[in-house]
Amino acid sequence: MSAPTNDRIPGVHATPGSGARATTGLPVYLLMGLYFGVVLVKSEAASWYRIQEMFRFEAFHMYGLIGSAILTGMLTTWLLRRSGARSLDGQTITVAPKERGWVRYVLGGATFGVGWGLAGVCPGPIFTLLGSGAASMLVVLGFALLGTYLYGAVRHRLPH
Amino acid sequence: MTDLLDLLRSPWPWYVGGPLIGLTVPLLLWLGNRSFGISSNLRHACAILLPDAAKPGFFRYDWRAERWNLTFAAGLILGGTLAGLLLANPEPTRLSAAGTASVQALGVQVQPGLLPAALTDLSNPGVWLLLGLSGLLVGFGTRYGGGCTSGHAITGLSTLQAPSLIATVSFFAGGILSANLLLPVLMRAVQ
Protein backbone atom coordinates (compact mmCIF):
# COMPACT_ATOMS: atom_id res chain seq x y z
CA MET A 1 0.00 0.00 0.00
CA SER A 2 1.51 3.31 -1.02
CA ALA A 3 1.47 6.44 1.07
CA PRO A 4 -1.61 8.58 0.51
CA THR A 5 -1.09 11.97 -1.05
CA ASN A 6 -1.26 14.97 1.18
CA ASP A 7 -3.80 16.77 -0.96
CA ARG A 8 -6.51 18.44 1.03
CA ILE A 9 -9.81 18.39 -0.74
CA PRO A 10 -12.30 21.17 0.06
CA GLY A 11 -15.49 19.63 1.36
CA VAL A 12 -13.69 16.45 2.37
CA HIS A 13 -10.93 17.63 4.66
CA ALA A 14 -11.33 20.20 7.40
CA THR A 15 -9.07 23.23 7.66
CA PRO A 16 -5.36 22.52 7.10
CA GLY A 17 -3.61 21.24 10.17
CA SER A 18 -6.77 20.20 11.94
CA GLY A 19 -5.85 16.54 11.72
CA ALA A 20 -2.54 17.10 13.48
CA ARG A 21 -3.99 19.45 16.07
CA ALA A 22 -7.09 17.46 16.88
CA THR A 23 -7.30 16.87 20.59
CA THR A 24 -10.73 15.29 20.55
CA GLY A 25 -10.01 11.59 20.55
CA LEU A 26 -11.62 9.04 18.30
CA PRO A 27 -13.62 7.43 21.16
CA VAL A 28 -15.60 10.68 21.44
CA TYR A 29 -16.68 10.33 17.79
CA LEU A 30 -17.55 6.69 18.46
CA LEU A 31 -19.86 7.87 21.24
CA MET A 32 -21.33 10.57 18.97
CA GLY A 33 -22.07 7.91 16.35
CA LEU A 34 -23.63 5.68 18.99
CA TYR A 35 -25.81 8.58 20.13
CA PHE A 36 -26.91 9.30 16.57
CA GLY A 37 -27.57 5.62 15.86
CA VAL A 38 -29.81 5.32 18.92
CA VAL A 39 -31.73 8.44 17.86
CA LEU A 40 -32.18 7.07 14.30
CA VAL A 41 -33.77 3.90 15.70
CA LYS A 42 -35.85 5.40 18.50
CA SER A 43 -37.19 8.25 16.34
CA GLU A 44 -37.99 5.69 13.60
CA ALA A 45 -36.02 7.69 11.00
CA ALA A 46 -34.41 4.33 10.14
CA SER A 47 -37.82 2.72 9.49
CA TRP A 48 -38.67 1.66 5.94
CA TYR A 49 -42.34 2.08 6.84
CA ARG A 50 -41.89 5.70 7.96
CA ILE A 51 -39.96 6.61 4.80
CA GLN A 52 -42.74 5.17 2.64
CA GLU A 53 -45.33 7.11 4.63
CA MET A 54 -43.27 10.29 4.17
CA PHE A 55 -42.86 10.01 0.40
CA ARG A 56 -46.61 9.44 0.06
CA PHE A 57 -47.47 12.41 2.30
CA GLU A 58 -49.48 10.17 4.60
CA ALA A 59 -48.20 11.36 7.99
CA PHE A 60 -46.50 14.32 9.62
CA HIS A 61 -43.98 12.27 11.63
CA MET A 62 -40.94 12.44 9.29
CA TYR A 63 -41.63 16.04 8.30
CA GLY A 64 -41.79 17.03 11.98
CA LEU A 65 -38.61 15.08 12.62
CA ILE A 66 -36.57 16.61 9.78
CA GLY A 67 -38.08 20.08 10.23
CA SER A 68 -37.38 20.26 13.96
CA ALA A 69 -33.88 18.84 13.39
CA ILE A 70 -33.10 21.62 10.91
CA LEU A 71 -34.57 24.34 13.14
CA THR A 72 -32.63 23.04 16.16
CA GLY A 73 -29.41 22.76 14.14
CA MET A 74 -29.91 26.24 12.70
CA LEU A 75 -30.53 27.90 16.07
CA THR A 76 -27.82 26.09 18.04
CA THR A 77 -25.16 26.42 15.31
CA TRP A 78 -25.95 30.13 14.99
CA LEU A 79 -25.66 30.56 18.77
CA LEU A 80 -22.38 28.61 18.83
CA ARG A 81 -20.79 30.71 16.09
CA ARG A 82 -22.35 33.94 17.36
CA SER A 83 -20.85 33.37 20.82
CA GLY A 84 -17.40 33.28 19.22
CA ALA A 85 -16.73 29.92 20.89
CA ARG A 86 -13.79 27.86 19.69
CA SER A 87 -13.83 24.14 19.21
CA LEU A 88 -12.29 22.01 21.97
CA ASP A 89 -9.00 21.87 20.07
CA GLY A 90 -8.82 25.63 19.83
CA GLN A 91 -9.94 26.20 16.24
CA THR A 92 -12.24 28.96 15.10
CA ILE A 93 -15.48 27.21 14.21
CA THR A 94 -15.96 27.22 10.45
CA VAL A 95 -18.49 25.60 8.16
CA ALA A 96 -16.99 24.77 4.76
CA PRO A 97 -19.27 26.28 2.10
CA LYS A 98 -20.75 23.80 -0.39
CA GLU A 99 -19.59 24.21 -3.98
CA ARG A 100 -21.68 26.62 -6.07
CA GLY A 101 -23.84 25.39 -8.93
CA TRP A 102 -27.02 23.40 -9.27
CA VAL A 103 -26.68 20.68 -11.93
CA ARG A 104 -24.95 18.15 -9.70
CA TYR A 105 -27.34 18.88 -6.83
CA VAL A 106 -30.41 18.30 -8.98
CA LEU A 107 -29.16 15.21 -10.83
CA GLY A 108 -27.16 13.63 -8.00
CA GLY A 109 -29.78 14.56 -5.41
CA ALA A 110 -32.63 13.03 -7.42
CA THR A 111 -30.56 9.86 -8.04
CA PHE A 112 -30.00 9.46 -4.31
CA GLY A 113 -33.69 10.19 -3.68
CA VAL A 114 -34.80 7.37 -6.00
CA GLY A 115 -32.54 4.96 -4.11
CA TRP A 116 -33.77 6.27 -0.73
CA GLY A 117 -37.39 5.59 -1.68
CA LEU A 118 -36.73 1.93 -2.50
CA ALA A 119 -34.98 0.31 0.46
CA GLY A 120 -36.03 3.28 2.62
CA VAL A 121 -32.49 3.91 3.83
CA CYS A 122 -30.12 6.82 3.53
CA PRO A 123 -26.46 6.23 4.48
CA GLY A 124 -26.87 6.61 8.28
CA PRO A 125 -29.55 3.93 8.67
CA ILE A 126 -27.56 1.52 6.46
CA PHE A 127 -24.97 1.32 9.26
CA THR A 128 -27.49 1.47 12.09
CA LEU A 129 -29.77 -1.24 10.69
CA LEU A 130 -26.72 -3.41 10.06
CA GLY A 131 -25.87 -3.07 13.75
CA SER A 132 -29.40 -4.04 14.71
CA GLY A 133 -28.90 -7.35 12.93
CA ALA A 134 -30.40 -6.69 9.48
CA ALA A 135 -27.90 -8.69 7.41
CA SER A 136 -29.72 -7.67 4.21
CA MET A 137 -28.20 -4.20 4.72
CA LEU A 138 -24.86 -5.73 3.71
CA VAL A 139 -26.29 -5.98 0.18
CA VAL A 140 -27.29 -2.29 0.25
CA LEU A 141 -23.87 -1.31 1.64
CA GLY A 142 -21.98 -3.40 -0.91
CA PHE A 143 -23.90 -1.87 -3.81
CA ALA A 144 -23.61 1.62 -2.30
CA LEU A 145 -19.82 1.20 -2.32
CA LEU A 146 -20.03 0.03 -5.94
CA GLY A 147 -22.14 3.09 -6.80
CA THR A 148 -19.62 5.38 -5.08
CA TYR A 149 -16.80 3.76 -7.05
CA LEU A 150 -18.72 4.12 -10.33
CA TYR A 151 -19.19 7.83 -9.66
CA GLY A 152 -15.47 8.21 -9.01
CA ALA A 153 -14.73 6.40 -12.27
CA VAL A 154 -17.07 8.39 -14.54
CA ARG A 155 -17.35 11.76 -12.80
CA HIS A 156 -15.30 13.64 -15.40
CA ARG A 157 -17.94 12.75 -18.01
CA LEU A 158 -20.88 14.02 -15.94
CA PRO A 159 -22.24 17.56 -15.90
CA HIS A 160 -21.63 19.26 -12.55
CA MET B 1 -38.42 -1.25 36.59
CA THR B 2 -40.79 -2.73 34.03
CA ASP B 3 -42.19 0.77 33.51
CA LEU B 4 -38.74 2.16 32.78
CA LEU B 5 -38.03 -0.64 30.31
CA ASP B 6 -41.36 0.00 28.61
CA LEU B 7 -40.47 3.67 28.33
CA LEU B 8 -37.05 2.90 26.84
CA ARG B 9 -38.59 0.49 24.36
CA SER B 10 -41.33 2.78 23.15
CA PRO B 11 -40.57 4.94 20.10
CA TRP B 12 -39.87 8.66 20.54
CA PRO B 13 -42.19 11.29 19.08
CA TRP B 14 -40.80 13.58 16.36
CA TYR B 15 -40.44 16.56 18.69
CA VAL B 16 -38.00 14.56 20.83
CA GLY B 17 -36.07 12.83 18.03
CA GLY B 18 -35.84 15.85 15.70
CA PRO B 19 -34.05 18.23 18.11
CA LEU B 20 -31.70 15.41 19.16
CA ILE B 21 -30.78 14.90 15.48
CA GLY B 22 -30.26 18.65 14.98
CA LEU B 23 -27.92 18.89 17.99
CA THR B 24 -25.39 16.69 16.19
CA VAL B 25 -24.39 19.66 13.98
CA PRO B 26 -23.19 22.07 16.74
CA LEU B 27 -21.82 19.18 18.84
CA LEU B 28 -19.46 18.01 16.07
CA LEU B 29 -18.42 21.59 15.32
CA TRP B 30 -17.69 22.18 19.00
CA LEU B 31 -15.85 18.88 19.50
CA GLY B 32 -13.41 19.29 16.63
CA ASN B 33 -14.68 21.70 13.97
CA ARG B 34 -16.14 18.76 12.05
CA SER B 35 -18.93 19.05 9.49
CA PHE B 36 -21.56 16.37 9.92
CA GLY B 37 -22.10 14.08 6.92
CA ILE B 38 -22.33 10.31 6.73
CA SER B 39 -22.13 9.44 3.02
CA SER B 40 -18.48 10.62 2.77
CA ASN B 41 -17.67 7.39 4.59
CA LEU B 42 -18.60 5.45 1.46
CA ARG B 43 -15.90 7.46 -0.37
CA HIS B 44 -13.39 6.88 2.43
CA ALA B 45 -14.16 3.14 2.36
CA CYS B 46 -13.45 3.07 -1.41
CA ALA B 47 -10.23 5.04 -0.83
CA ILE B 48 -9.17 2.43 1.74
CA LEU B 49 -10.30 -0.70 -0.12
CA LEU B 50 -9.30 0.00 -3.73
CA PRO B 51 -5.86 -1.18 -4.82
CA ASP B 52 -3.70 1.74 -5.94
CA ALA B 53 -3.46 0.57 -9.55
CA ALA B 54 -7.25 0.60 -9.93
CA LYS B 55 -7.87 3.83 -8.05
CA PRO B 56 -9.53 6.72 -9.88
CA GLY B 57 -8.14 10.13 -8.85
CA PHE B 58 -11.34 10.81 -6.88
CA PHE B 59 -10.18 8.32 -4.25
CA ARG B 60 -6.56 9.50 -4.01
CA TYR B 61 -6.48 11.66 -0.90
CA ASP B 62 -5.47 11.41 2.71
CA TRP B 63 -8.35 9.39 4.16
CA ARG B 64 -6.49 9.10 7.46
CA ALA B 65 -7.39 12.74 8.13
CA GLU B 66 -11.04 11.59 8.11
CA ARG B 67 -10.73 8.75 10.60
CA TRP B 68 -13.09 10.62 12.91
CA ASN B 69 -15.89 10.14 10.38
CA LEU B 70 -15.18 6.42 9.95
CA THR B 71 -15.24 6.11 13.74
CA PHE B 72 -18.58 7.93 13.78
CA ALA B 73 -19.92 5.31 11.32
CA ALA B 74 -18.65 2.52 13.60
CA GLY B 75 -20.59 4.23 16.39
CA LEU B 76 -23.73 4.14 14.23
CA ILE B 77 -23.39 0.35 14.05
CA LEU B 78 -23.05 0.15 17.86
CA GLY B 79 -26.04 2.48 18.28
CA GLY B 80 -28.07 0.17 16.07
CA THR B 81 -27.02 -2.78 18.20
CA LEU B 82 -27.97 -1.02 21.42
CA ALA B 83 -31.28 0.48 20.31
CA GLY B 84 -32.23 -2.05 17.66
CA LEU B 85 -31.63 -5.15 19.74
CA LEU B 86 -31.88 -4.19 23.41
CA LEU B 87 -34.35 -1.31 23.22
CA ALA B 88 -36.36 -2.49 20.21
CA ASN B 89 -40.00 -1.49 20.12
CA PRO B 90 -41.99 -4.75 20.51
CA GLU B 91 -45.01 -3.17 18.78
CA PRO B 92 -45.39 -2.65 15.02
CA THR B 93 -44.63 0.91 13.81
CA ARG B 94 -47.70 3.04 14.45
CA LEU B 95 -48.28 4.32 10.93
CA SER B 96 -51.18 6.50 9.88
CA ALA B 97 -54.23 4.65 8.52
CA ALA B 98 -53.30 5.80 5.00
CA GLY B 99 -49.69 4.68 5.49
CA THR B 100 -50.77 1.24 6.69
CA ALA B 101 -53.12 0.85 3.72
CA SER B 102 -50.36 1.89 1.28
CA VAL B 103 -47.74 -0.55 2.50
CA GLN B 104 -50.36 -3.32 2.60
CA ALA B 105 -51.16 -2.51 -1.03
CA LEU B 106 -47.48 -3.18 -1.71
CA GLY B 107 -47.97 -6.65 -0.23
CA VAL B 108 -46.21 -5.78 3.05
CA GLN B 109 -47.58 -6.46 6.53
CA VAL B 110 -46.75 -3.95 9.27
CA GLN B 111 -44.92 -6.04 11.83
CA PRO B 112 -42.56 -5.16 14.71
CA GLY B 113 -39.16 -3.98 13.47
CA LEU B 114 -37.82 -1.27 11.19
CA LEU B 115 -37.72 -3.33 8.00
CA PRO B 116 -40.48 -5.54 6.61
CA ALA B 117 -39.71 -9.26 6.39
CA ALA B 118 -40.27 -9.02 2.62
CA LEU B 119 -37.07 -6.93 2.35
CA THR B 120 -34.81 -9.13 4.45
CA ASP B 121 -35.25 -12.50 2.74
CA LEU B 122 -31.99 -12.90 0.81
CA SER B 123 -33.06 -16.25 -0.65
CA ASN B 124 -35.36 -14.22 -2.91
CA PRO B 125 -33.63 -12.81 -6.05
CA GLY B 126 -36.24 -10.02 -6.18
CA VAL B 127 -35.00 -8.76 -2.80
CA TRP B 128 -31.44 -8.61 -4.18
CA LEU B 129 -32.70 -6.61 -7.15
CA LEU B 130 -34.51 -4.09 -4.94
CA LEU B 131 -31.75 -3.74 -2.32
CA GLY B 132 -28.96 -3.72 -4.92
CA LEU B 133 -30.60 -1.07 -7.07
CA SER B 134 -31.34 1.04 -4.01
CA GLY B 135 -27.75 0.81 -2.75
CA LEU B 136 -26.26 1.55 -6.16
CA LEU B 137 -28.36 4.71 -6.56
CA VAL B 138 -27.65 5.83 -2.98
CA GLY B 139 -23.89 5.41 -3.43
CA PHE B 140 -23.74 7.05 -6.86
CA GLY B 141 -26.24 9.80 -6.08
CA THR B 142 -24.78 10.89 -2.75
CA ARG B 143 -21.33 11.43 -4.26
CA TYR B 144 -22.70 13.08 -7.41
CA GLY B 145 -24.91 15.33 -5.31
CA GLY B 146 -22.16 15.89 -2.74
CA GLY B 147 -24.01 14.61 0.32
CA CYS B 148 -26.99 12.84 1.82
CA THR B 149 -29.70 13.62 4.33
CA SER B 150 -27.16 14.40 7.07
CA GLY B 151 -24.75 16.47 4.98
CA HIS B 152 -27.28 18.48 3.00
CA ALA B 153 -30.73 18.33 4.63
CA ILE B 154 -29.49 18.61 8.24
CA THR B 155 -26.06 20.31 8.12
CA GLY B 156 -26.44 22.28 4.88
CA LEU B 157 -29.88 23.68 5.64
CA SER B 158 -28.94 24.36 9.28
CA THR B 159 -26.11 26.54 7.99
CA LEU B 160 -28.27 28.25 5.34
CA GLN B 161 -26.53 26.92 2.24
CA ALA B 162 -28.41 27.33 -1.03
CA PRO B 163 -26.85 24.26 -2.75
CA SER B 164 -28.20 22.10 0.10
CA LEU B 165 -31.71 23.43 -0.46
CA ILE B 166 -31.49 22.45 -4.15
CA ALA B 167 -30.12 19.03 -3.15
CA THR B 168 -32.81 18.43 -0.50
CA VAL B 169 -35.65 19.36 -2.84
CA SER B 170 -34.13 16.96 -5.38
CA PHE B 171 -33.88 14.16 -2.77
CA PHE B 172 -37.60 14.49 -2.21
CA ALA B 173 -38.44 14.72 -5.91
CA GLY B 174 -36.54 11.47 -6.50
CA GLY B 175 -38.00 9.77 -3.43
CA ILE B 176 -41.59 10.70 -4.23
CA LEU B 177 -41.15 9.40 -7.76
CA SER B 178 -39.53 6.18 -6.60
CA ALA B 179 -41.88 5.35 -3.70
CA ASN B 180 -45.02 6.01 -5.74
CA LEU B 181 -44.09 4.74 -9.21
CA LEU B 182 -40.98 2.55 -9.19
CA LEU B 183 -41.44 0.66 -5.90
CA PRO B 184 -44.89 -0.80 -6.75
CA VAL B 185 -43.36 -2.31 -9.92
CA LEU B 186 -40.33 -3.70 -8.10
CA MET B 187 -42.43 -5.12 -5.25
CA ARG B 188 -44.08 -7.38 -7.82
CA ALA B 189 -40.64 -8.82 -8.51
CA VAL B 190 -40.16 -9.38 -4.79
CA GLN B 191 -43.39 -11.30 -4.30
**A98/B161 CB distance under 8 A:** yes
Q: Does B145 touch chain A (CB under 8 A)?
A: yes
The region of weakest confidence among A6-20, A107-121, B136-150 is A6-20
pLDDT tens digits along A41-82 = 999 999 999 999 999 999 999 999 999 999 999 999 999 999
**A105/B71 CB distance under 8 A:** no
Residues of A in contact with B115 (CB under 8 A): 47-48, 120, 129, 134, 136
Residue B59 or residue A3, greater confidence: B59
Rounded distance, CA B150 to CA B39, Å? 8
**Sign of the torsion formed by the C-alpha atoms of A116, A67, A56 and B114:** positive
Q: What is the pLDDT of residue A9?
A: 65
Amino acid residing at B165: L
The string of DSSP letters for A5-66 reads P----BTTB-STTHHHH--S-HHHHHHHHHHHHHHHHHTTTT-HHHHHHHHTT--SHHHHHH
Element of type H or E holding A146: helix A137-154
Residue A13 or residue B157, greater confidence: B157
**Shortest Cα distance from A136 to chain B (angstroms)?**
5
Query: Could you give the ipTM of this predicted complex?
Result: 0.96
pLDDT band at B118 (very low <50, low <70, confident <90, very high): confident
Residues of B in contact with A69 (CB under 8 A): 17-19, 21-22, 154
pLDDT band at A18 (very low <50, low <70, confident <90, very high): very low
The string of DSSP letters for B57-119 reads GGG-S-GGGGHHHHHHHHHHHHHHHIIIIIS--SSBP---HHHHHHHHHTT----BSSS-GGG
